[in-house]
Structure 1
Amino acid sequence: MLFIDKNGLMDAERIIVKRFITIERSRMDKVNGIVVHQTGGSTAESSFNSYKNTGANGAHFLIDKDGTIYQTASVFKVTNHVGKIRSRCYMEKTCTPSAFTTLKPLLNKYKQLSRLEQKKPYPERYPANGDSLGIEIVGKPTSGEGENAVYEKVCDAQNRSLRWLIAELTDTLKVSMTEIFRHPEVSYKVKTEAGTARW
């Protein structure tokens, strides 16, 4: 179990706090899920440099190539790391007929569909920016472009750190292991992002 201070920062031997208030938004009262990402860059420093910009997007944690874990935002703050969310009932094939009728015309209108989903109470929708933590793993696409890009493999050191971090976060914050997702599972991202992440 992790100790979280009044600012939402972790006091743990395995976590280096490197907070960027530039990626923090409003207060987050409840963490319902965790979303696992890959950075798109080849170094932790490239992410840190982008986080320095006012209004930058980013996640709460970052795992470097050697397995070093950085906390980059307070767990009490929203960060923009998820983007537009998919329809949970559509993806999980659990929509009622009336829900399906409502969302069917929006399936290719991501912004409108996300707005509709965000109005739903959790867990009828996926965890979004307002109620999830983001974990970035340093890694970039090695081939292909756009949606067809193929991300590099998450290495063993990164996966060991990811397993430890997710186990600690889920225990400390009482998040169900069924609510841990790869970014493309809940949003419209490159399909291979975090595809080799293991927890």
Structure 2
Amino acid sequence: MFYVDGHGYIDDKRIVLKIFNTIERGKLDKVNGIVVHQTGSSTSKSTFNSYKNKSANGAHFLIDKDGTIYQTASLYRVTWHVGKSQSRCFIARKCEPTEFKSIFHLEQTSSGKGRVSKMEQRKSFPDRYPINIDSIGIEIVGAAPRVEGKPIIYEPVNDKQNASLKWLVKELAKTLAVPLTEVYRHPEIGRKNETEASTAQW
């Protein structure tokens, strides 16, 4: 279990503090989930450079290729890392019939998917997946090479990264009272490439 100070920073020898206030948005009152991502770039330096932008999206942690864990945002602050969310009841096939039919039709168009996300954001947890306002994001450094004419496939998460991820998720879950059933790969709850974090293990 972590010691978290008054600023939302973790005091642990395995975590390097490298905070970017530019990716912190509003107050994070309650954590209901953890979302695992991959950066799409091959180096931590590239991600850190992007975090210097005032309008940058980002996550609370970044795991480098050598397994180093950086805390990049306070646990008490929201970061924009989930994006457009999917419907929890639709994916689980547990919506009321009228809602299921409505979401089914919206899912057929790209603009409709955005409307589904807005509908989900109006719901309370656990009727929806964890979103930006109630989740912690973990980025894993991993490139997603673009080759013309071929699908984008994220590179595999390496053993050092997976070892760090397993430890970090376990400790965060204990510290923040998040059940492991509420830890997700980004594509499971958001509109993302299916290969993102597909090889992540915790």
The alignment partner of 2:191 has SS state of coil
Instruction: Determine if contact 1:85/1:128 at 8 Å carries over to the other structure.
Output: yes
User: Is this contact kept in 2: 1:26–1:78, CA < 8 A?
Assistant: yes
Amino acid at match of 1:118: Q
Question: CA, structure 1 residues 121+150, in 2 after alignment: closer, same or farther (shift >3 Å)?
Answer: same
What amino acid is aligned across from residue 105 of structure 1 in structure 2? H
Give the aligned partner of residue 91 of structure 2: 91
- Cα distance in 2 for partners of 1:71, 1:118 equals 26
Q: Distance in 2 between matches of 1:197 and 1:40?
A: 14
User: Cα gap change, 1:188/1:19 in structure 2, threshold over 3 Å: closer, same or farther?
Assistant: same
In 2, the alpha carbon distance for the partners of 1:122 and 1:185 equals 16
2:17 corresponding residue in structure 1: 17
User: Residues 43-98 of structure 1: CA distance to partner in whole angstroms, max 9, x if unpaired?
Assistant: 00100000011121100000000000000000110000000000011112221212
Q: How much has 1:144 moved relative to structure 2?
A: 4.9
1:37 aligns with 2:40: no
Amino acid at match of 2:54: T
SS of 1:151's equivalent?
coil
The equivalences for 1:1-199 within 5 A come to 1-107=1-107, 108=109, 109-142=112-145, 144=147, 148-199=151-202
Task: Give the SS at the match of 2:142.
Answer: coil
Kept after mapping to 2: 8 A contact 1:36/1:183: yes
How many Å apart are 1:99 and its aligned residue? 2.1
Distance 1:172 1:59 in 2: 18
* Distance in 1 between residues matched to 2:28 and 2:180, nearest whole Å: 20
Tell whether the 8 Å contact from 1:144 to 1:150 is kept in structure 2 after alignment.
Answer: no
How much has 1:145 moved relative to structure 2?
Answer: 6.4
Tell me the amino acid that sits aligned with residue 180 of structure 2: M
Counterpart of 1:182, as a letter, is R
Q: CA deviation at 1:111?
A: 1.3
Question: CA separation in 2, counterparts of 1:84 and 1:143?
Answer: 22
**% of aligned pairs identical?**
56
Unpaired runs of 5+ residues, structure 2, are none
CA–CA distance in structure 2, aligned partners of residues 12 and 47 of structure 1: 23
- If the length of structure 2 is used for normalisation, what is the TM-score? 0.95
Q: Could you tell me how far 1:102 is from its partner in structure 2?
A: 3.1
Q: CA contact under 8 A between 1:22 and 1:54: conserved in structure 2?
A: yes
TM-score normalized by the length of structure 1: 0.96
How far did 1:142 drift? 3.8
The runs of at least 4 aligned residues of structure 1 exceeding 4 Å deviation read: 143-147
Consecutive unaligned residues of structure 1, counting only runs of 5 or more, are: none
- Secondary structure at 1:111 match in 2: helix
Distance apart, 1:159 and its partner CA: 0.1
Give secondary structure in 2 for the equivalent of 1:62.
strand
Question: Comparing 161-170 with 102-111, which one deviates more in the overlay?
Answer: 102-111
